[in-house]
Amino acid sequence: MIESYSAKTRGNLQAALDEAHNTFSVEDILLAVESGTYQLWEEKDSVIVTEILTYPQAKVLNFILAAGDLPTLSRMFIVLEHWGSDVEGCRIAATTGRMGWTRSFLTKEQGWKATHVVLTKEI
């Protein structure tokens, strides 16, 4: 039940959503987790939300939201990539995020590449 999630979890999710133009509410995310559409991962003061996308030729582990301590998030990304590959059979990991992620541990330490950019404009 979504009421059981802590204030800390909700705060971390809201911090990530604030950077993502609040296209979801915290409740939207938690309902999707409860339904099994998304996965919620927490460690200490960090949170990651993922989903598995299934295409005809590949499964993709899509990182939807991430917020918290960068060293903790770095470890979590590595663990989740292995989970996506070994448990879920994903062949690709993907994420869309603010430009700062292109200069983070993802590109500097873990071999991620910026291959696309998402541009947004409020209208």
- Dump pLDDT digits (tens) for 48-96: 999 999 999 999 999 999 999 999 999 999 999 999 999 999 999 999 8
Q: Is the pLDDT of residue 121 over 80?
A: no
Whether residue 119 lies inside any domain: the answer is no
- Dump pLDDT digits (tens) for 94-103: 998 777 777 7
pTM for the model stands at 0.86
For residues 86 and 95, what is the distance between their CA atoms, to the nearest angstrom?
19
* Cα-Cα-Cα-Cα dihedral sign, residues 54, 106, 75, 86: positive
Q: Sorting pLDDT into bands at 50, 70 and 90, what band is 7? A: very high
Q: What is the count of structural domains for the chain?
A: 1
CB 90 within 8 A of CB 59: yes
Q: Is the pLDDT of residue 119 over 70?
A: no
Q: Which helix (H) or strand (E) holds 80?
A: helix 70-86
Whether residue 122 lies inside any domain: the answer is no
The C-alpha torsion from 55 through 61 and 106 to 76, rounded to 10°, is 180
pLDDT, residue 12, reads 93
Alpha carbon distance, N-terminus to C-terminus of the chain? 35
Average pLDDT on 109-120 reads 76
Task: Give the domain range for residue 104.
Answer: 2-108
Q: What angle do CA 52, 99, 57 make, to 5 degrees?
A: 30
- Dump pLDDT digits (tens) for 11-60: 999 999 998 889 999 999 999 999 999 999 999 889 999 999 999 999 99
pLDDT, residue 105, reads 80
Whether residue 113 lies inside any domain: the answer is no
Q: Sorting pLDDT into bands at 50, 70 and 90, what band is 120? A: low
Whether residue 46 lies inside any domain: the answer is yes
Whether residue 115 lies inside any domain: the answer is no
Whether residue 120 lies inside any domain: the answer is no
Strand pairing report for 38-43 and 59-67: unpaired
Find the CATH number of the domain harbouring 10.
3.40.630
CB 51 within 8 A of CB 37: yes
